[in-house]
């Protein structure tokens, strides 16, 4: 009887050990990382030649650009980006990249801010186009309108090679410049918009 009692206790101990040491196969998912992409007109790109006149950047200028189809790439895999965290599905957005803030500084826009899986990434991709620029240099009222279009056959999706780490529960910010005037070129009777983008900085801003 005594031996049977010890046998039962030993058996229960072994079963309990197995239960505590076994994995259920359902592991907790990592917390998402947050990626923010900003875009601003490059302050140093401030002149463009229209016909025989050199136009300079002025506070009343505007260049309406369209941003769409944001992707964050890790090799051949990618995460879809949205402009805001609460955006239900990806949308196209328009910005006046030459707009100035209350301090007369070129406005910096957050064009994407969305959650991505933690890991190592190697590029960004998004679409960018423009169809109209208004230049006001030398005009007391109004200005000169410059209709434009993308070159025929040009891929509107721009790829920016940049290596960055996305850490669980942390915000990474990537800042880009668009050279607005260098992106505009006259061709016959048209002005063509070929975006000239520049990587400014990549910063990990810690927990979001």
What would the pLDDT profile of 98-134 be if each residue is shown by its tens digit?
999 999 999 999 999 999 999 999 999 999 999 999 9
Instruction: Encode 121-141: b = buried (16+ Cβ within 10 Å), e = exposed.
Output: bebbebbbbbeebbbbbeeee
Using 50, 70 and 90 to split pLDDT, how confident is the model at 189? Answer: confident
Query: What is the rounded CA–CA span in Å between residue 138 and residue 20?
Result: 79
Residue 16 dihedral angles phi and psi, to the nearest 5°: -60, -40
Q: Is a pLDDT exceeding 50 seen at residue 147?
A: yes
């Amino acid at each position: 009887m005594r031996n049977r009692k010890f046998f039962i206790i030993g058996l229960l101990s072994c079963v309990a050990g197995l239960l505590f040491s076994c994995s259920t196969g359902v592991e907790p998912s990592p917390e998402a990382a947050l990626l923010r992409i900003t875009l601003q007109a490059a302050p140093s790109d401030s002149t463009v030649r229209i016909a025989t006149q050199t136009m300079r950047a002025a506070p009343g200028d505007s260049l309406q650009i369209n941003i769409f189809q944001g992707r964050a790439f890790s090799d051949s895999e990618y995460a879809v980006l949205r402009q805001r965290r609460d955006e239900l599905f990806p949308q196209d957005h328009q910005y006046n990249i030459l707009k100035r803030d209350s301090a007369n500084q070129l406005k910096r826009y957050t064009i994407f801010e969305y959650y991505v899986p933690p890991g190592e990434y190697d590029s960004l991709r998004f679409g960018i186009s423009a169809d109209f620029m208004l230049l006001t240099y030398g005009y007391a009222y109004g200005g000169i309108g410059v209709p434009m279009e993308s070159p025929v056959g040009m891929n509107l999706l721009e790829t920016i090679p940049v290596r960055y780490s996305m850490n669980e529960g942390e915000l990474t910010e990537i800042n880009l410049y668009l050279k607005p005037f260098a992106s505009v070129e006259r061709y016959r009777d048209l002005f063509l918009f070929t975006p000239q983008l520049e990587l400014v900085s990549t910063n990990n801003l810690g927990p979001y």
